Chains A and B, each alone.
Chain A
Amino acid sequence: MAKHATPLLDQLESGPWPSFVSDLKQQAAKRAKNAEKIDFQIPADVVDDLLGLLELSFVDGVTHWKHGGIVGVFGYGGGVIGRYCDQPEKFPGVAHFHTMRVSQPAGKFYTAEYLRQLCDLWDLRGSGITNMHGSTGDIIFLGTTTPQLEEVFFELTHKFNQDLGGSGSNLRTPADCIGQARCEYACYDTQNLCHTLTNEYQDELHRPAFPYKFKFKFDGCPNCCVASIARADMSFIGTWKDDIKIDQEAVQAYIGGEIAPNANDHNGRDWGKFDIQKEVIKLCPTACMWMEGGKLKIDTRECNRCMHCINVMPRALRIGDDRGLSILAGAKAPILDGAQMGSLLVPFIPAEEPYDEIKEVIESVWDWWMEEGKNRERLGELIKRQGFQKLLEVTGIEPMPQHVKEPRSNPYIFWKEEEVEGGWTRDITEYRKHHQR
């Protein structure tokens, strides 16, 4: 028997899509039965009360969680988010319901063995409810009490060689695409760069010293599967400089209909016979492709590596061999001053261990932001406030046309004194000798 009636939530159990309500109910029933005789360290009916509280929100149309409280583990300024319910008498099981962010492995690969260990820990010391995963990328442990925070952290670090992720005004847990582990489009090893920088910057991740949050995301190619260009203060997007490799025989196989276009992933509908002119050459944004003597040609210097032709014909076209990545800076969601896309800062940088050149760029950006950024000002907003030119100045990167979509359309140029011949100091008396008042 359920502890609370949930008539509104019950209506979310029907329909084909996996129902979180059914899942919560199965967890509540499992804890009530406790066949494994676990000595639960937080209330056994925590999930019942979570369902009851959520039902109340569905009735009231508003949340019943209080503003976060300051809780955490000793020495870390992030990784734990305090949460208290505003109806603790009715729902004592969720009176304290803190979140712990557990730093996910790059690429989100797991073994069943490891996930089960995490489940054992979270069943004993928490609600057993998780997010796989949170929006930033962490494994989210949803709901435990204050005394359990240090215990969970101790077990994670001692038994599982596993740390917490970031929250607050820190480096947030970096995230990457699957990249070279399984994707033929990957121009660098996203997992290795993500893991290396996550470990290199553990201090920045755990101890808030930034004006606001800061995100790194790693996409192996311009398809941007982890949305780095829209979501990360610094986006690392794989790219290449040389020719797209063409297998002319495979091109013919696509033309002849032997291989389905776009890896066969449009096959739910009859789009007609594959037409290379219409589907590839005419859609190329730079018009740098053509057929000549039965062969596909690409003018590499004109290609902007949009990935379209490669996505359509993955068996005929492959990324080039002179690979690295582009760094873009300043992407963010609307809060506070409107949404921003990342702006291209470094068109090309090699992505090889030990990644020193990349770290230099990161650290020069951080130095500037930590010095000049106002409280709760994201990097993108600082770039807007002080100008992209300033970002180039602090990173020592030479301006180039690649940095802009178009040059400025107003001539309001802030010349610096040292840029103007003779400087700005002039003699008005001398001037008056030749120009009457």
Chain B
Amino acid sequence: MPGPRRLRRVLVANRGEIAVRITRTLRALGIASVVVYHADEADGPAIREADEAYELTGETPVAAYLDGAQIVAIARRCAADAIHPGYGFLSENAAFAEAVRDAGIAFIGPSAQAIRLMGDKVGSREFVRRHGFPVAPSAYEEDDPASFAERAAAIGFPLLVKASAGGGGKGMHVARDRVELAERIETARREAARYFGDGRLYCERYIERPRHIEVQVIGDEHGRLVHLWERECSIQRRFQKIVEEAPAPGLDPALRARVLDAAVGIARAAGYSNAGTVEFILAPEGDFYFLEMNTRLQVEHPVTEMITGLDLVALQVRVAEGEPLALEQAAIERLGHSIECRICAEDPAADFAPAIGTVLRLRPPAGPGVRFDSGLAPGQRITTAYDPMLAKLVVHGASREAAIARMRAALRELVLLGVTTNAAYLDRLLGHAEFAAGRLHTGFVVEHAAALGAPPPDPETLELVLAAATLSSRTVRDLTRHVPEPYASIGAWRN
């Protein structure tokens, strides 16, 4: 059993808000922070937060962050004793985790083996099923290609046809009868081959109006593994999460207990250590199925932190140092309710097309129970080079109603000018009666799309906005300046 090894310098192999967030905890722990950046973000906030910064080069910015060898080389050069991969990029790349550890550097995350196991979407489901945990009934093509369609139909309709090599909500199609099934298989195979380079498919039962419930787990290297309660992530569009909250509203306590137990059981069976999230699909009838496990820190982890008062990154660091987790499951309390909204550069009026622009003004909301995690700096150019998420707005309240109210007030207080965001859309979403009632499911935004559309502006506000634009636009303002006297004083007179 490895003894505690104090980390002195950690390299954060990521960017944007998560790089800033991780660096802040490192500083609080008295650990030196190193951040890597691409040239087009040379003056980003993460560089200013960290103690040291090194440039990453690549064909594209994303390619730079995916260059594991370069990152390891930098870590060596600056004598970092650990790498935190954040989320996305290389965080679930088993080969990267191995390369880091082979270089004698600690990888703040689970073992490469656990990453590999859970990274295989098909293999991990089989693993989970074998260990007796609920998995949505499925049929895998590669088991026997000839009988694939038949085995799929036997599960019962509706079915979801998925690419084995897919993920992130891409390459999935619904089939409601045999005829559609045959068509969808053709379509899905063509797409899978084109986008993922691998045409293999599997089918699973399609749950209508499901809820997406996930459980935060964390384990140490001494065999202790606990859950830090669940999160509700049902508000999604095209399988991308928009709003997350903790705890899941209106969840039957017995059902909750079963879900939490299943998550812990799955993680334990996988010999999991460090932080991870087990995701489930919850059917309206109350049955739930394993969806996948993410072997990394998730975007929405702050809501868990808000209700437990724990710092997940600090816990990750301690686990990586070989420290035993000083957490007793029974003693991990949750208090109140937390909601997170993802502020994205997109235009809800243009079917959420990505928006570009420059951050001309930024005034984050502040106050008790309000947390704004961003990697934004004034003057920053927002392009399509990276993910459209600009920031996470997280609130905590004594109750769900209080949290919703606090979130809506914070969304209205947030000033972010220069690039179109979904902030007003989120305000309307949180104000929807169904959201307040906790009647959530993954089709929520589609079902209520019409009601969530922007209403026509009220006349008083419209005049205020037009007046502001009239008085500040150079084009418009200059032309009124030149009306000479006495004409300006005489006004609109006719003889």
* A interacts with B: no
- Residues of B at the A interface (CB closer than 8 Å) are none
